[in-house]
Amino acid sequence: MFSHWSVSEKKARKWIWIGLAVVAALQLYYVREMIAAFVVLGVVFALISGAGMLVFLVDRANGRTVTSAEMTGLAIPRTARRGVHFRGRAGRQAVSRARRSSVPTQ
């Protein structure tokens, strides 16, 4: 029934099982590679999102610092004007007191 090139049933089963084992191993290898790629991409995503969060927080802190510096920067000239105004008024009062005291009374 079979030609002389045919393989015995025992050898055929052996090669079928080996073929199935190879297919299963390749599938397991593929799954392992996909899981490893998923882990690597997850780590990369976590690093990038952490860096983005760090930049966001630094920018937010810098914005608050700049805002407070602007408010302080606006207060300095106002305080200086008040000081100049007060000094000018105090100086005028001192001069008028000096004139009053130097005027001879009769």
Mean pLDDT for back-to-back runs of 10 residues, the chain (106 residues): 68 89 86 92 97 92 73 68 65 62 59
Helices (H), the chain: 9-102
Instruction: Identify the pLDDT of residue 9.
Output: 84
Question: What total of structural domains would you count in the chain?
Answer: 1
What residues contact residue 7 under an 8 Å CB cut-off, 6+ apart? 15
Question: What pLDDT, on a 0 to 100 scale, did the predictor assign at position 29?
Answer: 85
Q: Which domain holds residue 87?
A: 33-101
Q: Is residue 20 part of a domain?
A: no
pLDDT of residue 67: 72
Buried-state track 19-35, b at ≥16 Cβ within 10 A, e below 16: eeeeeeeeeeeeeeeee
Residue 31 CA to residue 24 CA, distance in Å, equals 10
Residue 23 lies in a domain: no
**For residue 102, what pLDDT is reported?**
62
